[in-house]
Structure formats: structure tokens, C-alpha cells
Structure 1
Amino acid sequence: MTDDRITNRFSYDEIARLVAPGSHVLDLGCGSGDLLDLLRRTRGVTGRGVDIQEEMIRACLEKGISVFQGDLDEGLKEYRSQSYDYVILNETLQMIHDPVYLMNEMLRVGKRVIVNFPNFGYVVNRLQLAWLGQMPVNRTLPYEWYDTPNIHFCTRRDFVRLCDSIGAIIEAAVDLRRNRRVAGIFANFAATDCCFVLRKQESRV
């Protein structure tokens, strides 16, 4: 198994640990359905995936996963409020044109929201910018600046500030560096990926 596949499997396992058994899950940007398949097998979840690419839709259907072809930039208008136990956005936030809009939609539809994203504040990214004077290209961010699907980079600290600004309560956070956890005050520096569990702040009367 390649390093990248080990890393992906580890992050999937970490996300799975955050999901309560038997939950109803909506996986946004689900890709080929590997995460949903894992959740179905190990956590007994039910749910649906959403992706825009036809080849990913076919891959999900081959796994027997319920999937809907949709554009996340158009929001989640088809979904009722609080209709899922978890809405998951894995490695997709940085590709969304309006992250704030989608985050609010996710908090509306899901009782809990799980967001996993690449941390632009990771030390290797900082060094490539500072010492080489060029946009980072590495295992975490494997694209050149001119062909990347990523349009909104953020650091762990940026994401925490976003949550505060939209009234999202952070219930849990797991910081990862490839195939292990990162703990402590240096997570913004040492983590390649950050995973947060959120819920909507209750409105005060």
C-alpha cells in the first residue's frame, strides 16, 4: 500500500471514530464512496453521498452506495433542516467557491458536521513559501498552482476563526500528520490535515 493510501485510510479511520454507530450520514464530495463504505461496514451507518463527477457516481453505485449527483456550490436546498445526524465534508472545503455559505448549509442540514481539510499552515508549506518563494507542492498539496482544484486555502487557525464567526461550536478536533495524530499547541504548525466536529450554536431568545 502506498504512503498516500495509508494516509487516506488513516484519516478515514479517524473520521469513523467520530461518527456514532447507526447514524444517518450525508457525505459531501464523496468521491468513489470509500469513506461511506467504511462507515457502513464499521459503524453501521445509513446515508448518501453527493459528488459532481459521473465516474465517481458510477464507482459509488458499484459499491451499492446511495449517491446523488450534485454541485456543492449550489448548496443543499434539497435537504430538510436537521435531517442527518452527520454531514461530512472530507478534503473538499478548499475547493468550494463560497465556503461560508456551504458551512452554514451543512450546519442547517446536519445535527453534527465533520470537516476534514489540508492545513496550509503545515511547516513544509511554510518553508516552501519562505525559502523557495513558490507555492507548495507536496503530498498534502500535490498540484501546481495553475492546475489545482483548490481555490481557498486555510490554516487550522483560520478555520477556528471561521467557526467562531458563523456561530459553529467546536465539539472535537483531531489533527493529523500523515498516519499519526498531532497533539498540543503546535498543531497549526505540525498537522498536515485537520478534522473538526461541529454543531450549530443554539439561538438565544
Structure 2
Amino acid sequence: MSALRPDLAIIADHVAAGASVLDVGCGDGGLMAALRDTKQARPRGIEIDGTNVAAAVARGLSVVQGDADTDLADYPTDSFDYAILSQTLQTTRAPDRVLDELLRIGRRAFVSFPNFAHWRVRASLLWGGRMPVTKNLPEQWYDTPNIHHLTVDDFRAFLRARGITTEGAWFLNRGRRTSAAAANFRAEHAVFLLRR
């Protein structure tokens, strides 16, 4: 699973063998294929981009074209062991509703997102006065899919306010795990495992 993006590798490491999985915003199905091939999981996916849907289907994966903001309501409650939303929450129109649906559909949910409070983002705004363009946030402000800029601390506060339990949390800096200490400042990405 070393070919997976670092946040996806963490998720893949923590999905139980043989689990049923819904990958929301699954891209080309890389995580789904890894879970199928190494964990004998039963993955399904939903993806908004037709080119990515075609690539995932070409891998022999069960993926439908759909939108996380509107199509998750069609899935039955507790229909998957895990629902996964990787690097997608910040691109949805209603992330609070999407997360509610994720936790309704899956008995557990993995959520990963870029941390907009990382020190490099802060420095770019402070010293340059402009929205950052980095390896992990490569788009300009006007063409970024990120419409909700959240931080690790924002997400933790959101979970507390909604009574959502965190079963695990991992933090990444430059693609490597970093400690939870000062994660809001030090981590570029966060991965959370959640349950109701």
C-alpha cells in the first residue's frame, strides 16, 4: 500500500479485513483497489468526475457517478462498516450534512482533510498577504475546489459540539506522520476515524 497517498495509506492500514466500505469521492479508485486486494474488503465508490469513474470501473471496481452533497441520502442507514471521505469534506457545499450522512451510512467514518492552520499557510497569509499555493494546495484562490477552509481545531470543536466520538486521529506533515501535539499548527493534513 506504499503507492497510496499518505492519508489513504493510514486509512487502508486501519480498515478491518473483509469490511464493507463506501468511498465517497473515491477518485480513480486507488484506495478501493488496495482495500480489495490487500484486505479482501468489499468496496463501493461514489465519484463526481466521470473520467475518474471510468478509471475506477476499468479497475473492476463498483463505482457510481454522484455528488456527496445530494446523493448520500439514497444509501440505507448502517449499510457499510466504513464510510470514507478523503480530501473531499472541504469541497462540499454542506460539509455538516455530508458528515451526518457519512456517519449514518457507515458504522464508522474516516475523514481526511488539509489543515488550513498549518504554519506555512499562516506564514503565506502573514508575510505575503495572499492565499497560499503549495504542493498540497496547488490551486490559485479562484480555481480551488476547496470552498470551506477548516483547521484541525475547527474540526475537533465541530465533533465535540455534535457529540461525535473520535476513535483515532493521525496527522501528517510532508507526507509523514507527526505527533498530535500542536497539530493545528504543525500538521498539513489530518485523518480522523469517527463514530456516533
Give TM class, smaller chain.
Answer: over 0.9
Q: 1:149 — aligned with what?
A: 145
Deviation at 1:8, TM superposition (A): 5.1
Residue aligned with 1:76, SS: helix
Structure 2 length-normalised TM: 0.96
Cα distance change on mapping 1:145 and 1:107 into 2, 3 Å: same
C-alpha deviations, 1:52-108, integer Å up to 9, x for none? 111011001110000011111114121110110000000001100000001001111
1:133 pairs, out of 129, 133, 141, with 129
Query: How far is the alpha carbon of 1:167 from its aligned partner?
Result: 2.0
Question: Match for residue 203 of structure 1?
Answer: none
Q: Is the CA contact 1:75–1:102 (under 8 Å) kept in the aligned structure 2?
A: no
What SS class does the counterpart of residue 72 from structure 2 fall into?
Answer: coil
State the partner residue of 1:62.
58
Aligned length: 195
> Which deviates more, 118-127 or 181-190?
181-190
What is the TM-score with the length of structure 1 in the denominator? 0.92
Is the contact made by 1:75 and 1:105 (CA closer than 8 Å) also made in structure 2?
Answer: no
Q: CA deviation at 1:118?
A: 0.4
Pairs within 5 Å for 1:30-109? 30-109=26-105
Listed as ranges, the gaps of 5+ residues in structure 1 are 1-5, 201-205
Deviation at residue 26 of structure 1 after TM alignment: 0.1
**Ranges in structure 2 where 5+ consecutive residues have no aligned partner:** none
> 2:154, 2:22 → 1: CA distance?
25
Q: Structure 2 residue aligned with 1:12, among 8, 12, 17?
A: 8
Paired residue type of 1:37: A
Identity %: 43
Take 2:107 and 2:66, find their aligned partners in 1: how far apart are those partners? 21
What is the alpha-carbon root mean square deviation over aligned residues? 1.3
Question: Residue 122 of structure 1: CA displacement?
Answer: 0.8
Give me the whole-angstrom Cα distance separating, in 2, the residues matched to 1:129 and 1:166. 31
Contact preservation (8 Å) 1:12, 1:35: yes
- Provide runs of 4+ in structure 1 moved above 4 Å: none
Paired residues for 1:162-173 under 5 Å: 162-173=158-169
Q: Distance in 2 between matches of 1:42 and 1:160?
A: 31
Q: Check the 8 A contact 2:170/2:180 in 1, yes or no.
A: no
After superposing the two structures, state which structure 1 stretch, 91-100 or 175-184, moved more: 175-184
